[in-house]
Structure 1
Amino acid sequence: MNKNRRSLLKQLGAAGAIGLGSVGLSGTASAHVQDPYADRWVAADSSNYSNTNRSASSINWVVIHVTQGSYAGAVSWLQNPDSNVSAQYVMRNSDGHTTQMVHNEDTAWHAGGTNYNAHSVGIEHEGYVGETNFTDALYQKSANIVSWLCDTYGISKTHPTGVAPCDARNGSGIIGHHQVPESDCGYNDHTDPGSTWDWNYFMSLVNGGDGGGDRFVDGDRVTPTTNLNTREQPGTDQPIVATISPGEVGEIMNGPIDKDGYRWWGVHWLDRNVWGWSVEQYLTDA
């Protein structure tokens, strides 16, 4: 699904795919796409980001950050020309109130790495790494924004584990700041979003769940939304049993199990009489 969207974006370019000339958060006509979830626009200092007017197809990643300070303090800091940092969004923990500070088509200075600033959108969440208990309101609002970003720019709604690809052009997904690679392709020295950030809960919300309970139960009939590999065990490195096509029907037999940034279900694919593990985000009710 996202792969098809990304292919379309690359064919059409930014103008054809997302419609230039929309009304931005400031209320003035611009070439920027309006985010329906941001509550206000407060511009970062112009010296803290690059006015690049990126194409939609060049935005591959969403990077999750934690502010290490207050919401108001973070917004103020990104307006300070001495900070030399920025992010597209800053979010308040208590209620999810969101300030957009850099247009998504422009390049915020938040990630570093080899070229991750150029190919990502950064979201700062109010709090302290490993200390803050993030609220349901924050998780839900952030998930709304991230889901919209993924739909708008063709970003994969997945959370890869481990360090991200050295070249940001060679992948797509939703990652923490700590996963952005250094120039030597290894881990950086950041730790956000930290141990109190619930990735499973957050990714469930991003993918349309309610963050609680499971999407399927044993006995549910499902079909893939795209050609889908089913594997011997949960995990992207496991042997492929079969590639299942949309319209083929399977029965949920086991799961879920979270592995490699995905939620996996054991499915008996009835048309082929094969059993394997398949990724939840590519399954829908049959």
Structure 2
Amino acid sequence: MLLLLLLTNAFVLLPWAGAGRIVGGREVMPHSRPYMAYLDIKSGPYSYSCGGFLIRPDTVLSAAHCVAMKWAVRVTVILGAHNISAQEQSQQKIPVGQWVIHPEYSSAGTKNDIVLLKLKQRAMINKNVQCISIAKENERVEEGAECSVSGWGRISTRCDMTSDVLREVEMKVQNEEICEQVFHNYHCQSMICVGVENRNKGTYKGDSGGPLVCNKKAHGIVSYGPQGNVFPEVFTRISHFEPWIHKQLRRFALQDTPGSKSSD
């Protein structure tokens, strides 16, 4: 299964390869990124984690490859966390009831790498847990835009040193041609080319599903990058999938309507 996920010259940010690794970043002020979600995932003999972000009180957006596994998958979302290893009063742990992977997702080339996870119960919105807006269909983040990515976990590509606290790295949207030259499956309409050239800064194995935030709005989802390096990296372009996202959100809302056949 793992071999099927590997690209010729790139790796998918495999969730069990290191939980939320942010390289060259810094610790953020506790609870200053209230939209961040930590995905505690169990699949067969594996336990691993991914990132995600709250876009509605009952819905988290993440990368499809986090849950598209060979074995049955169980996911618990942790919201309101800063130190993921501590029993913080701010944390809300909510099981995921169902998820919808994009119907055209493919591990070959990591295409359409997006999933919506519906929580079994709505999150309690407060100062530590909040939703983030997503890019609309006509909003396209341009080359040179300054953005950021947050996550938990290892802070180096060379060792297993981990960080239990939420960290963030600043990144820049790159020219599409850079990713087209490195990744033969790069698709500019549905992907964003991101990175910081000549600097050891970025996301790495296991930081899957976290948001690329530009001007306080989520524009991308951590998807994949080059083997043994952090430049350039590929993010799922949210604006391309915005119509599909809202279609699924409407279905989720219908399920919650009293009297609906799908209602709990």
Q: Give the greater-gyration-radius structure (CA).
A: 1
Q: TM-score, normalised by structure 2?
A: 0.28
